[in-house]
Structure 1
Amino acid sequence: MDFFSKLIDKMLFNSPNIEEFAPQVMFHIPENGLTKALQIANAPVKSTVTTTWILIVVLGLFSWWATRDLKEEPEAGSVQNVIEALVDSMQGLVRNTMGPGMQKFTPYIGTLMIYLTISNLIGLVPGRDILHLYTPTADLNTTFALAAITFFCIHYFGIKSKGIGTYFKDYFEPMPFMFPLNVIGNLADPMSLAFRLFGNMLGGGVVIMGLLYSVVALGIPGIADLYFTVFAGVLQAFIFTMLTMTYISMEME
């Protein structure tokens, strides 16, 4: 009971400013002719962006290293064997969720799943504070960007699959007066994707863990970290990916 009393007291009477859990500004974009023309001069670059850059470089280097010496019959337990198993599982997930003939989405869905999973697990990296690593998905800018890509895919492939006439006709189904509600519903899907992922990662993986570690250093925070960082992180990556596949496949039907 003493622990929970301390936690409640910390949250209600001595809760830290939410800015403590926000990404840090690492540097500002230098001012020159090009940045002025693009209207990004002196724009802040936060740790969310730099962490994403690090992930891109690490994943790019790993992809190059893992595929530089491919063999027709890889040895059991080799990196190629593991990667092929991962690709096969992603192809099966796409086929079972989106239906046959949808294998063209495997590269995007696989990339999305890997990026989200690793991003959500950044909290496990030793010395993350020293390296200024910040969970990218705990920043609404990142989740909105990912939701925007999903939104584009939904409607682009919907028009490509149905034709533009049938696509717009669906907005007036089952009755013409449903048009405004159908538009709102289509806009709400990516919004819900963005806020769900952002809320879970910021609230669980960043704020709650920060409060726990500020109350007690060992024991309970370590156990909670396994849940919020590992279980919840992987689960949220899976949910975002599954909903992306569901929305795209439904629009293409």
Structure 2
Amino acid sequence: MKIFNIFPETIFSIGPVQITDTVITTWIVMAAIIAICYLSTRKLSVKPSFFQEILEAIFEAIEKTIKDILPLDPWLVVPVLGTLWFLIGFSNLAGLIPGLKTPTADLNTTFAFALISFSMTHVVGIATQGLRGYLMHYKEPTWILLPFHLIAEVTRTVALAVRLFGNMLSGDMIAIILLGIVGLLVPIPFSLLHIIIALIQAYIFGVLTLVFIAGGMRTTSEKEA
């Protein structure tokens, strides 16, 4: 696992745009996901192979998770949220590869993911309820609390980014400390723990996004009930 600074290291520049080690690792992760998706879907069959059954089980789990939280057709959200889940999960695991930095241990990356979550909340809310219907949830229980609702929109987005960043950064730092203290005795079991934590953090990020979307749809759902 690569020892890194909190701040990303600039590898090269394209005009005024600086390309950091985080960006390069993220590109590698994106390329890996695209390759995996292409290879895993080019020979789908009505008689699925073992690998296809695993793939279908993953998508069914994503669909069920969304259906359990949101009162709408899950496939309105599956493409974006599923992609976000995979991207965060693979990014969390990238640091296990020697020479690569964990992208989510960079606050810039986690803020980008949090902005996607923030955008999804409003886009889905407006798409399913209309602009007027969606904005009405800000008046609950009274318009006097509108400023606090707006502050909450910002603070929960910041908290989402900082939470993922803090968990992944601390995990990598603990690994570095343990390597320095006990050498090669810890890396294998710790790597297994890191994989579990990385997948859990990706899952929690997606579930929190679903909760935020559901919160914006609360008023409409209650009226329909």
> Do they fold alike, i.e. is TM over 0.5?
yes
**Count of residues in Structure 1 that have an aligned counterpart in Structure 2:** 216
Higher gyration radius (CA): 1
Q: Hey, what's the Cα distance between the residues in 1 that align with 2:54 and 2:205?
A: 24
- State whether structure 2 residue 104 is matched by structure 1 residue 141: no
Alignment of 1:1-253 (within 5 A): 20-29=5-14, 31=15, 41=16, 43-75=17-49, 77=50, 79-125=51-97, 128-129=98-99, 133-204=100-171, 206-227=172-193, 229-253=194-218
Percent identity of equivalent pairs: 35
Q: Select between 236-245 and 80-89 the one with higher mean Cα deviation.
A: 80-89
Q: Hey, what's the Cα distance between the residues in 2 that align with 1:166 and 1:100?
A: 15
When the two chains are superposed, the root-mean-square deviation of aligned CA atoms in Å is: 2.1
| Counterpart code for 2:152 | G
Q: Hey, what's the Cα distance between the residues in 1 that align with 2:133 and 2:67?
A: 25
- Report how far residue 73 of structure 1 moved: 1.6
**Larger RCO: 1 or 2 (CA < 8 Å, sep 6+):** 2
Q: As a proportion of its length, which structure holds more helix?
A: 2
| Counterpart code for 1:235 | I
Q: Is the 8 A contact 1:95 1:103 kept in 2?
A: no
- Report how far residue 142 of structure 1 moved: 0.8
Give CA-to-partner distance per residue, 1:103-147, whole Å, 9 cap, x none: 22112222112111111112322xx22xxx111111111111111
Structure 2 residues not aligned, in runs of 5+: 219-225
TM-score normalised according to structure 1 size:
0.78
Q: Hey, what's the Cα distance between the residues in 2 that align with 1:160 and 1:109?
A: 16
| Counterpart code for 2:52 | Q
Q: 1:188 to 1:106 in 2, by over 3 A?
A: same
Q: Hey, what's the Cα distance between the residues in 2 that align with 1:224 and 1:57?
A: 27
Give CA-to-partner distance per residue, 1:194-252, whole Å, 9 cap, x none: 11000110122x2222222223312245434432x222211111110110111112212
| Counterpart code for 2:161 | A
- Report how far residue 21 of structure 1 moved: 4.9
Q: Hey, what's the Cα distance between the residues in 2 that align with 1:226 and 1:72?
A: 35
